Structure 1
Amino acid sequence: MKQALRDLAALVARVGVGGIFFANGWTKLEDGLKATGAKFLQQGAPAPGAWATITMLTELIGGALLIAGLAVSATGLILFAEALAVFLVAPPLNPISMNELILLGAASLLLAVVGAGRVSVDHMVVIRRRESEAANEFAADTEADRVIASLRDPDTPDEPPVPKPEESAASATEDTAPHPRPRAKGGDATRAESSAPVPGDTLVAGRKKPPPRTRRPAAD
């Protein structure tokens, strides 16, 4: 709540002070540089033509920047210097009196020190700058973590290998359907039949047991 009131007060002060400066500069612009220079000459200001141009531009640009809340610190100091120079060199032109000039100078200096508040262009620029810095810091931290992880485990690849287009096409067209076993032909069939076990035979250590031997009858 306190910060909101402070921002509101800064906004009112910026609009009031900047509006007065801008209106005074606009009056000089409407009167013309020659007429304004002649008035400054009557008041004894040195180089009245240049003085009229400088004060007109300072009040117009500085007042607009104060109202927008852009570069308030620098603008407030410039307007304070302009008010002090007018106070020392020549009396201010109407409709601003000497007392009003002092108040405007003091308010400009106060805004330069306090700032523009959150309802300003300066605050938006600061927010974007902080967001950009935070994003850069986050990216730097992520990169540092990746480097540290790669140093701890150098064998682990950072990213999985990407198959080449040729390999992907070959794997996509590869025939994985089951096929029937080819039949034996010719000698292979005979060999297969001969190697098949016959009923009554016994396999010993992977070999066929030989038939039992019978004694020949003794000759008479």
Structure 2
Amino acid sequence: MKQVLRDLAALVARVGVGGIFFANGWTKLENGLINTGAKFLEQGAPAPQAWATVTMLSELIGGALLIAGLAVSITGLILFAEALAVFLVATPLNPITTNELILLGAASLLLAVVGAGRVSVDHMVVIRRRESEAASEFAADSEADRVIASLREPDTPAEAPEETPPPVSPTEDTAPHPRPRAQAAESKRADDPIPAPGDTLVAGRKKPPPRGRRPTD
């Protein structure tokens, strides 16, 4: 609520101060630079034509910028400097005009310090600039995260997928069965060589036949 009131107060102050500046500059433009220079000459200003030109442009452009709320900080300082220079160099002869000049200078300085508020072109420009900066920072952070993640991943080839055994038919019998003893014995006897008569196996080798004794005379 307080922020809303501040924005409304800034808007009213901008429109009021900027409107007065713009009206004064428009009056100088309508009267012409010659008549405006003659007034500055009566007030004792040096180079009255230059003063008339500078003040007219400052009040027209500065007043329009204040009303729109564009570059309020810089515009307020420029208008304050213009009002202060006119007050010191070419003080108005009319006291009412002098008071008006003082109030306009003070209000311009206050707007330069406080700002234009949220109901202004400045605020819209700032919002867009911040959104673009935030988007750029987000994109930069995402790119940095992607680079860091790619550096952390090891450069190893992908592992081959494990081979899955073929499916077993439900009718196929895969349980181990003991080998019958009779079949095992028969196969063992079939594999063993048949020894010749008179031969005996000793430690897996054939024993030579016994030698006969030589007859003695």
Please say whether Structure 1 and Structure 2 have the same fold, judged by a TM-score greater than 0.5: yes
> Secondary structure at the residue paired with 2:91?
coil
Q: Deviation of residue 92 (structure 1)?
A: 3.3
Structure 2, gaps ≥5 residues long = 157-217
Correspondence for 2:142? 142
SS of alignment partner, residue 77 of structure 1: helix
Contact kept, 8 Å, 2:38 with 2:48, in 1: the verdict is: yes
In the TM superposition, residue 56 of structure 1 has moved relative to its aligned partner by 0.2
Question: 2:81, 2:143 → 1: CA distance?
Answer: 48
Task: Answer yes or no: is the 8 Å Cα contact 2:43–2:92 preserved in 1.
Answer: no
Shift of residue 107 of structure 1?
0.4
Cα distance in structure 2, aligned partners of 1:29 and 1:96: 21
The percentage of counterpart residues that share the same residue type is: 90
Instruction: Please state if 1:85 is matched with 2:72.
Output: no
For 1:92 and 1:141, locate their aligned partners in 2 and report how far apart those are by CA, in whole Å.
59
The two structures, once aligned, show a CA RMSD in angstroms of 1.9
Residues of 2 paired with 1:57 and 1:9: CA distance?
Answer: 26
Deviations 1:85-144 (A, max 9, x none): 111111237796111111110000000000000000000111011101100110011000
- Equivalent pairs counted in the alignment come to 157
1:44 aligned partner: 44
Larger Rg computed on CA atoms: 2
Q: Which moved more, 1:39-48 or 1:25-34?
A: 39-48
Answer yes or no: is 1:110 the counterpart of 2:110. yes
Q: Normalized against structure 1, the TM-score is what?
A: 0.68
Whole-Å Cα distance in 2 between the matches of residues 89 and 29 of structure 1? 21
Q: Shift of the alpha carbon at 1:75?
A: 0.4
Q: Which residue of 1 aligns with 2:27?
A: 27
Q: What SS is found at the alignment partner of 1:46?
A: coil
1:13 corresponding residue in structure 2: 13
Residues 1:61 and 1:96: Cα distance change in structure 2 (over 3 Å): farther
Query: CA, structure 1 residues 95+33, in 2 after alignment: closer, same or farther (shift >3 Å)?
Result: farther
Letter of the structure 2 residue corresponding to residue 108 of structure 1: S
In structure 1, list runs of 5 or more residues that go unmatched.
Answer: 157-220
